[in-house]
Amino acid sequence: MKKILLSLLLLIPFLATAEEQSAIKTLNYSINLSYKAYDVADIVSTSASINIPLSNYIGANIIVYGAKANTKYNDYELDTTLYGSAVSLFLRDSNIGKIGASFAYAKSDNEYTFSDDLNLSAYHTASFYGGESKQYNYSLYGSYI
């Protein structure tokens, strides 16, 4: 409890010296879509983000994203699907800096397929579906101008 109170007291100089500027002046957003082709891979990705003003010095940012990659090399193939989201809440004054907290979640699914021609009379294909992973990130951040 003492650490939380001390942390909140550290914000007082930040708030007391803030001028009439806002964290985010208006609601704004971006949407992105991309395709990249390489020698052995094709990647399609998309993302969207929105910045939301909550008050003069407080703002929020929400991001969602996804990607699909297909990699082929000789008899080996990897299909990867990745998606996730992030939410950030921050306090900012353009003349002083920014502090905030964020949470992010990501999940990926991988499917591996390979061909093994050890026996010349038979062609074997194996597929594995055990490549799922999830990731959670929590962070506190700050910057001083």
pTM of the entire structure? 0.67
**No. of H helices and E strands in the chain?**
2, 7
Structure tokens at 49: 């983000």
The per-residue pLDDT for range 15-40, each reduced to its tens digit, is 444 444 556 778 999 999 999 999 88
Residue for token digits 């297909």?
70
The per-residue pLDDT for range 50-80, each reduced to its tens digit, is 999 998 889 999 999 999 999 888 777 888 8
User: What pLDDT score does 23 carry?
Assistant: 60
Question: 3-state class of 104 per DSSP?
Answer: strand
Residue 15 to residue 98: CA distance in whole angstroms: 11
